[in-house]
Amino acid sequence: MFLSDQQRMIRASARKIARDVLTPTAAERDRTSTWPAGELKTLAAQGFMGMTIPEEFGGSGAGFLAYCLAIEELSAADAGVGTIVHVHSLGPGHVIVRNGTAEQKKRLLPAMASGEKIGAFLITEPQAGSDTSALRTSARRDGDDFVINGTKQFISNGSEAGVAIIVARTNPDAGKQGFTTFLVEPPVKGYVVSRVEDKLGQRTAHIAQIQLDDLRIPKENILGPLDGGYGITMSGLSDGRIAIAAQAVGIAQAALGAAVQYARDREVAGKSIMDLQGVSFTLADMAAQIDVARQYYTYAARLLEAGVPCFKEAAIAKLFASEMAEKVCSEALQIHGGYGYLRDFPVERYYRDVRVCKIYEGTSNIQKLIIARSL
Tell me phi and psi for residue 84, to 5 degrees. -60, -50
Q: Minimal CA–CA distance to 102: which of 220, 253, 218?
A: 220
b/e sequence 72-93, b meaning 16+ C-beta within 10 Å: bbbbbbbbbbbbbbbbbbbbbb
Longest pairwise C-alpha distance within the chain: 80
Region at 337 (left for phi over 0; alpha for psi -120 to 50; beta for the rest): left
Is residue 55 packed enough to be buried (19+ CB in 10 Å), middle (13-18) or exposed (0-12)?
exposed
In the set 125, 160, 348, 361, the catalytic residue is 361
For this structure, is 326 an active site residue? no
Is residue 54 packed enough to be buried (19+ CB in 10 Å), middle (13-18) or exposed (0-12)?
middle
Cα 196 to Cα 216: distance, rounded to the nearest angstrom: 23
Name, in order, each residue with C-beta under 8 angstroms of 153's C-beta and a sequence gap of 6 or more: 124, 125, 126, 209
Beta bridge partners of 179: 169
Cα 19 to Cα 78: distance, rounded to the nearest angstrom: 10
Cα 129 to Cα 33: distance, rounded to the nearest angstrom: 24
Positions annotated as catalytic residues are 361
